[in-house]
Structure 1
Amino acid sequence: MEDKAEIEKYIHDFILNRPHVFILGAGATIAAIPNGDRNGLKCSVMNNFLEELDLSHILSGVELKTTSTNLEDIYSELDTMSEYSSVKDELENKIIQKFSQYELPDQPTIYDYLILSLRSKDYIFTFNWDDLLIQAYNRVCHFTNDLPQLVFLHGNIGVGICGECGAIQAYRNSHCYKCDNKSLHRPKLLFPVKKKNYNLDPYISNAWNGFLEIIKNASILTVFGYSAPKTDVEAIKAMKTAFSSTFRRYDQIEIIDVKPESELLDTWDDFIQPTNYHVKTYNNLFDSFVGEFPRRSIEGYYKRLYSGWWGQSSLRLKSCNALDELKDLLSPLIQNEYKKNFNVI
């Protein structure tokens, strides 16, 4: 029989050497700008998307069979009718124009808190088209370069791809940082949900391949404002297969959403089962593991669940009025990281 110390070390290494993975849906962006962006613009979920963002006129004269107000349902039907190919193009162009207007407010948003609460071993995968996450990254990266990796599963208006060397970068760049080419293009944004062929776009294909590998190895998987729509059949099927294909008894699921807990547990049951129902639901980010243990979520999870520790973190996320205040709050953790000290404070 293995020595007890060896078993404990195995569990310790197994948990701490793996990432904290966030999956973001439209609910996360809504939480980031609940009162609108810098100019009062608000975001919307897929249901009633066109109406809420004042884009319904695009479908003027289009005869649809679906009665759904979900943008992805509408696009899926348009995709089956060649006579509406120009409408599809206009729809994507209008979405780009609309989301290009969004600007973060000056005060810290949920995206600022989230990015600064994770480290480079962690990942944020998002389904959102807006570039508010990128904007937040660009303004907090001056506090530390040890920040999570961002991946955009449905493309993003802020992502640019070089037409020459294929380097991925900010679309706002005037030229490629790698080869100086001035031809940048965005990955595709809209796919028909019932037959999402992500292989048609190299960036999206690579993003999904990486995502499905990473979620196999997450110690904590946090779903934030993503409803796992039943219409997104291919995506959900792939996620379920990847997540359930590995040993997960030591892993944790978190769900951050305003929906009732019973509804959330039912929606994500296929993901919760493999963890032996290690699941917590929250209404906001501050109550989650990164709220209690910013930049130390995996370490805090291990200490709380496997080391018999009943204490409280002395450094929690809290609402800040300015970015410099948020920087000062997390400064002790960041300073310790320079010394290779990742212990919970």
Structure 2
Amino acid sequence: MENKAEIEKYIHDFILNRPHVFILGAGATIAAIPNGDKNGLRCSVMNNFLEELDLLDILSGVKLNTKSRNLEDIYSELDTIPEYTSIKYELENRIIQKFSQYVLPEQPTIYDYLILSLRSKDYIFTFNWDDLLIQAYNRVCRITNDLPQLVFLHGNIGVGICNECHAIQSYRNIRCYKCGATSLHLPKLLFPVKKKNYNSDPYISTAWNGLLEIIKNASILTIFGYSAPKTDIEAIEAMKTAFSSTFRRYDQIEIIDVKPESELLDTWSDFIQPTNFHVSTYTTLFDSIIGEFPRRSVEGYYKRNFCDWWGQSTLTLKKCADFKGLKELIRPVIYNEIQGNYDVI
């Protein structure tokens, strides 16, 4: 490039024209309903999953070699024993029934704040089976329809696929919105650890291909409550390869988790290094970059780090007692968007 102006324009376009990408794990859902859902139901991580969700009776009389209390380890062994096929299917069905009971509290949750703080150019990829993210989307879309894309990497009890035309939609639909068929199915939720063949399910395969393509081009990657378990090691390797395949020195990684910072930095070191160690860790979404710049995260990151700006946003994410308050809080940036103005305010 010939001059400073050209270089500055290149950096400007390179950063601002790319998305903010979130990857969610079970910790994100736990943060969304820390005191339980509307009816007091609590979520669980894979370890001790059956105990915490009161599903241990399924394994009554079942003899397993594994001593692990991790759901995926238990499912993987069941999958290898033909006489336990009915138990395996019962486990899958009970998980669907259990997660179908979850209802968001009436007040705004972390998921409501998260979705509303991103735009349609951004993405949320989640490993979670519960449909609380979808419930939150259906609430905040009454405030604006310029919301991020949601992608479910392990399937989801709220995602339906038409058996006739294969259109993806809400599993709660009585008829397919596209062809009118009345038969929908869920994408596969559980895979044996030793043969996690995501390509065996068309929806899951498409979701993963989308993730690997999108994270190549993310300006900001935020990992929220995802522990990178050993059972996902092949998938994480694919993510790492995709993320590090492009120039990342201008990009940012955030990790939102309650674990010690040293542990988080060690877990995600292969992602952090390509960004020249542009990484921040937080224990809450409100302290992250979308907390400081809701709906302007990439713009705020660029302005602060590449424009010698030492100021602060006049609109930051705050806890609201109800959706009326949340709508009022976010109204100034949405008004500006209607005018075509995406500047930090």
TM-score bracket for this pair, using the shorter chain length: over 0.9
Percent identity, aligned pairs only, is 81
SS state at 2:330 partner: helix
The separation in 2 between residues aligned to 1:293 and 1:341, in whole angstroms, is: 14
Q: Which stretch shows the higher mean deviation, 240-249 or 128-137?
A: 240-249
Name the structure 2 match of 1:160: 160
Task: Confirm whether residue 259 of structure 1 aligns to residue 247 of structure 2.
Answer: no
2:215 alignment partner AA: I
Name the structure 2 match of 1:138: 138
The CA deviation string for residues 167-189 of structure 1, in whole angstroms up to 9 with x for no partner, is 10000010001111101111010
In the TM superposition, residue 194 of structure 1 has moved relative to its aligned partner by: 2.5
The separation in 2 between residues aligned to 1:191 and 1:291, in whole angstroms, is: 35
Task: Confirm whether residue 52 of structure 1 aligns to residue 52 of structure 2.
Answer: yes
Q: State the TM-score, normalized to the length of structure 1.
A: 0.99
Name the structure 2 match of 1:72: 72
Name the structure 1 match of 2:319: 319
In the TM superposition, residue 246 of structure 1 has moved relative to its aligned partner by: 1.1
Q: How does 1:83-102 map to 2 (within 5 A)?
A: 83-102=83-102
Name the structure 2 match of 1:344: 344
The separation in 1 between residues aligned to 2:262 and 2:233, in whole angstroms, is: 22
Q: How does 1:2-21 map to 2 (within 5 A)?
A: 2-21=2-21
The CA deviation string for residues 118-175 of structure 1, in whole angstroms up to 9 with x for no partner, is 0000000000000000000001101111000000000000000011111100000100
1:39 alignment partner AA: N
Name the structure 2 match of 1:223: 223
Name the structure 2 match of 1:193: 193
The separation in 2 between residues aligned to 1:93 and 1:2, in whole angstroms, is: 62
Q: Which stretch shows the higher mean deviation, 251-260 or 189-198?
A: 189-198
In the TM superposition, residue 231 of structure 1 has moved relative to its aligned partner by: 2.2
SS state at 1:10 partner: helix
In the TM superposition, residue 232 of structure 1 has moved relative to its aligned partner by: 1.5
SS state at 1:231 partner: helix
The separation in 2 between residues aligned to 1:2 and 1:229, in whole angstroms, is: 47
Q: How does 1:208-247 map to 2 (within 5 A)?
A: 208-247=208-247
The separation in 1 between residues aligned to 2:141 and 2:329, in whole angstroms, is: 15
The separation in 2 between residues aligned to 1:200 and 1:279, in whole angstroms, is: 35
Name the structure 2 match of 1:180: 180
Q: State the TM-score, normalized to the length of structure 2.
A: 0.99
SS state at 1:30 partner: helix
In the TM superposition, residue 87 of structure 1 has moved relative to its aligned partner by: 1.2
The separation in 2 between residues aligned to 1:124 and 1:160, in whole angstroms, is: 18
Maintained 8 Å contact 1:193/1:234: no
SS state at 1:21 partner: strand
The CA deviation string for residues 224-266 of structure 1, in whole angstroms up to 9 with x for no partner, is 0000002222211111111111111111000000000000000
SS state at 2:300 partner: helix
Maintained 8 Å contact 1:128/1:154: yes
2:333 alignment partner AA: L
SS state at 1:221 partner: strand
The separation in 2 between residues aligned to 1:27 and 1:336, in whole angstroms, is: 33
In the TM superposition, residue 191 of structure 1 has moved relative to its aligned partner by: 0.6
Corresponding pairs, count: 345
SS state at 1:22 partner: strand
1:240 alignment partner AA: K
1:78 alignment partner AA: L
The CA deviation string for residues 191-236 of structure 1, in whole angstroms up to 9 with x for no partner, is 1123211111110010000011001110000000000002222211
Maintained 8 Å contact 1:194/1:233: no
In the TM superposition, residue 73 of structure 1 has moved relative to its aligned partner by: 1.3
Name the structure 2 match of 1:305: 305
The separation in 1 between residues aligned to 2:58 and 2:247, in whole angstroms, is: 47
Q: Which stretch shows the higher mean deviation, 106-115 or 232-241?
A: 232-241
Q: Which stretch shows the higher mean deviation, 147-156 or 73-82?
A: 73-82
The separation in 2 between residues aligned to 1:25 and 1:193, in whole angstroms, is: 17
Instruction: Tell me which stretches of 4 or more aligned residues in structure 1 moved more than 3 Å.
Output: none
User: Which structure 1 segments of 5+ residues have no match?
Assistant: none
2:314 alignment partner AA: S
SS state at 1:232 partner: helix
The separation in 1 between residues aligned to 2:62 and 2:237, in whole angstroms, is: 31
Task: Confirm whether residue 279 of structure 1 aligns to residue 279 of structure 2.
Answer: yes
In the TM superposition, residue 317 of structure 1 has moved relative to its aligned partner by: 0.1
The separation in 2 between residues aligned to 1:21 and 1:196, in whole angstroms, is: 24
- Alpha-carbon RMSD across the aligned residues, in angstroms, is 0.8
The separation in 1 between residues aligned to 2:69 and 2:158, in whole angstroms, is: 26
Task: Confirm whether residue 113 of structure 1 aligns to residue 121 of structure 2.
Answer: no
The separation in 2 between residues aligned to 1:262 and 1:42, in whole angstroms, is: 28
The separation in 2 between residues aligned to 1:193 and 1:340, in whole angstroms, is: 47
The separation in 1 between residues aligned to 2:222 and 2:338, in whole angstroms, is: 27
